[in-house]
C-alpha cells in the first residue's frame, strides 16, 4: 500500500515469549509478529495489515512494553478501544496482549522514532529450581555476588565497540553502541540486571549477563569486564545467558503517542 492508502496506529504490547520463535516471522514456528498481524487483519475483515516493531526479540524472550506500529487501509475507521479489545479478542488464547493504542502520523515509526530501549534480565539465585517463575528467570544455583556484578557492569557504560558481546549473526552495520544504564541489584533470591540504550546489538544483553555471572561467582574480578570489552572479541566474553530471563521493558520517544492519547 502507498502512503495515501494507509493509516498508522501505534500499539504497546506485552507477551510471554516461551512458545514463540521471537518477534519476526520465521518458517520454523509461530512468531509474535504473525499473531499481531493476523489479529489486526481479522479486526478489519481479513484485509492485510503490516507491522514494524521497536525491537526484535529472540525466541523465548518476553516483553512488558514493546511498541509496534500497524499500517491499516486508510478507509478503515478505528478507535483505541476497538484496536485494544478487538485485537485482544482475536489474540486469544495466546499470551499476547494489547495494552494501549494510539493514532500516529505516517512519519512516526515504532523503530526509527525510538530514542531508547530498556530491558530487564532476571536471575533466580537459589539451590531450588523455580516453580512459580518457570520460563521467566535464569536459574543459577551457585551464590552470586550482585554488588560485584554491578561494579563490573559499570565498566561497560558509555560509547564502546561491543564486539565482545555481539552475536556472530548480528546484522548491525557497526558494533559501536552507547550504553546508558547497566544496573545490578538483588532482591532476596532474585538478581535483576536492568539496562537502557538507544539500541542494542544482537544478543548484547544476554552476552553481557553471561559475563557478569562469571563476576558474580568470583571466577572473574569486576575489572575483568573492561578487559573483555577492550578485547573486541566474542571469544573473550562469557557464555550467552538463556533467553527466558530476558524481558523487553519499555521504549522511549520524544513524541510519545500514548501520552497524548
Q: How far is CA 80 from CA 103, 174, 222, in A?
A: 8, 38, 48
Q: Is 261's pLDDT higher than 70? A: no
CA–CA dist 89, 94 (Å, integer) = 10
Cβ burial, residue 133 (10 Å; 0-12/13-18/19+): middle
Residues 121 and 76 occupy one common structural domain: no
Residue 210 has what pLDDT?
98
Quick one: angle between helices 146-153 and 224-231, nearest 10? 40
77 inside domain: yes
Question: How crowded is residue 142: how many other Cβ atoms within 10 Å of its Cβ?
Answer: 11
Residues 132 and 155 occupy one common structural domain: yes
Provide the CATH number for the domain around residue 130. Answer: 3.30.70.660
Domain count, the chain: 2
Q: How far is CA 40 from CA 10, 37, 43, 230, in A?
A: 12, 5, 5, 46
99 inside domain: yes
CA–CA dist 255, 149 (Å, integer) = 35
Residue numbers belonging to the annotated binding site for substrate: 119
44 inside domain: yes
Q: Cα 112 to the chain's mean position, in Å?
A: 15
CA–CA dist 189, 100 (Å, integer) = 32
Mean pLDDT of 138-148: 98
The predicted-structure confidence for 150-195, as pLDDT tens digits, reads as follows 999 999 999 999 999 999 888 889 999 999 999 999 999 999 999 9
Mean pLDDT of 134-155: 98
Provide the CATH number for the domain around residue 73. Answer: 3.30.70.580
Q: Is 3's pLDDT higher than 80? A: no
Residues 226 and 139 occupy one common structural domain: yes
Residues 200 and 237 occupy one common structural domain: yes
The predicted-structure confidence for 210-223, as pLDDT tens digits, reads as follows 999 999 999 999 99
User: Are residues 34 and 81 in contact, defined by beta-carbon separation less than 8 angstroms?
Assistant: no
Residue at grid coordinates 552495520:
173
Residues 108 and 132 occupy one common structural domain: no
58, 75, 100, 250: which one is catalytic?
58
Among this protein's residues, is 180 annotated catalytic?
no
Residues 54 and 107 occupy one common structural domain: yes
The predicted-structure confidence for 70-107, as pLDDT tens digits, reads as follows 999 999 999 999 999 999 999 999 999 999 999 999 99
Residue numbers belonging to the annotated binding site: 119
Query: What percentage of residues in the chain have a pLDDT greater than 70?
Result: 98
CA–CA dist 36, 48 (Å, integer) = 11
CA–CA dist 163, 230 (Å, integer) = 9
Which of these three, 94, 112, 130, is where a domain ends? 112
260 inside domain: no
Chain-wide mean pLDDT for the chain? 95
Q: Give residue 185's domain range.
A: 116-249
259 inside domain: no
| Predicted TM-score of the model (pTM) | 0.95
Amino acid at each position: 500500500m502507498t502512503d495515501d492508502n494507509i493509516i498508522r496506529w501505534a500499539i504497546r504490547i506485552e507477551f510471554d515469549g516461551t512458545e514463540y520463535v521471537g518477534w519476526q516471522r520465521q518458517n520454523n514456528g509461530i512468531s509474535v509478529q504473525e499473531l499481531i498481524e493476523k489479529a489486526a487483519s481479522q479486526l478489519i475483515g481479513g484485509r492485510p495489515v503490516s507491522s514494524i516493531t521497536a525491537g526484535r526479540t529472540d525466541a523465548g524472550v518476553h516483553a512488558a512494553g514493546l511498541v509496534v506500529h500497524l499500517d491499516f487501509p486508510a478507509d478503515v475507521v478505528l478507535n483505541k478501544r476497538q484496536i485494544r479489545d478487538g485485537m485482544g479478542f482475536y489474540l486469544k488464547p495466546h499470551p499476547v496482549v494489547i495494552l494501549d493504542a494510539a493514532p500516529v502520523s505516517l512519519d512516526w515509526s515504532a523503530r526509527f522514532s525510538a530514542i531508547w530501549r530498556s530491558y530487564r534480565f532476571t536471575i533466580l539465585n537459589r539451590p531450588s529450581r523455580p516453580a512459580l517463575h518457570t520460563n521467566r528467570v535464569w536459574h543459577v544455583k551457585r551464590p552470586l555476588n550482585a554488588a560485584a556484578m554491578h561494579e563490573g557492569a559499570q565498566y561497560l557504560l558509555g560509547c564502546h565497540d561491543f564486539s565482545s558481546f555481539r552475536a556472530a549473526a548480528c546484522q548491525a552495520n557497526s558494533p559501536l553502541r552507547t550504553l546508558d544504564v547497566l544496573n545490578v541489584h538483588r532482591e532476596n533470591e532474585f538478581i535483576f540486571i536492568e539496562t537502557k540504550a538507544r539500541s542494542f546489538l544482537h544478543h548484547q544483553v544476554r552476552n553481557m549477563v553471561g559475563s557478569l555471572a562469571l563476576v558474580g561467582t568470583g571466577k572473574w574480578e569486576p575489572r575483568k569486564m573492561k578487559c573483555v570489552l577492550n578485547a573486541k572479541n566474542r571469544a573473550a566474553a562469557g557464555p550467552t545467558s538463556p533467553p527466558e530471563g530476558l524481558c523487553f521493558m519499555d521504549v522511549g520517544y520524544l513524541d510519545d503517542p500514548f501520552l497524548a492519547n
